[in-house]
A = this chain, B = another copy of it.
Amino acid sequence: MDNYQNQLDQTFSALADPTRRAIVARLAEGEASVGQLARPFAMALPSLMKHIRVLETGGLVETEKRGRVRTCRLKPAGMQSVETWLAEQRAIWGARLDRLEAYAMALEQATEKKAKRRTEAEAGKNVSTGKRKG
């Protein structure tokens, strides 16, 4: 459990930076070498490598050295762990909203019934008043 929490810390932390999110978005389109990644970001290689290492620690990216070229690609498990955590909260939250909605509907129906009974009672009174007048 602690390992899982630690990993989530690193993953969320890795995503808390616009350059790193842009790298993830670029790698979602397909793998790229560090050189290819550096170009659109107008960033020196050492700075870029620092970001890539943070993404690796966050479990979001994996790199592989082929000859002199280091290739980066997205690691599905990292994104998946964030999605799973969000889905868990959404499920708890959704269940609560469903209960609230059910409660609100029951309340509404009860109020409608009450209003209907009152209208009927009023109508009954008017009819008898009418009868008396006629």
Q: What residues make up the interface of A, taking CB atoms closer than 8 Å to B? A: 5, 8-10, 12-13, 15-18, 21, 24-25, 28-30, 74, 79, 82-83, 85-86, 88-90, 92-93, 96
Q: How far is the CA of A8 from the CA of B24 in the complex (A)?
A: 14
A28 touches B86 (CB 8 A): no
Given A79-B90, A92-B29: A9 and B18 interface contact (C-beta under 8 Å): yes
Given A25-B89, A96-B28: A12 and B9 interface contact (C-beta under 8 Å): no
Q: How far is the CA of A5 from the CA of B19 in the complex (A)?
A: 10
A82 touches B89 (CB 8 A): no
Question: Of the candidates B9, B17, B86, B93, which one forms a contact with A82 in the assembled complex, judged by CB atoms under 8 Å apart?
Answer: B86
Q: How far is the CA of A112 from the CA of B88 in the complex (A)?
A: 44
- List the B side residues contacting A5 at CB < 8 Å: 18, 21
Copies in the complex: 2
Q: How far is the CA of A61 from the CA of B25 in the complex (A)?
A: 27
- List the B side residues contacting A29 at CB < 8 Å: 92-93, 96
A96 touches B25 (CB 8 A): no
- List the B side residues contacting A28 at CB < 8 Å: 89-90, 92-93, 96
Question: Of the candidates B79, B82, B96, which one forms a contact with A30 in the assembled complex, judged by CB atoms under 8 Å apart?
Answer: B96
- List the B side residues contacting A13 at CB < 8 Å: 12-13, 16
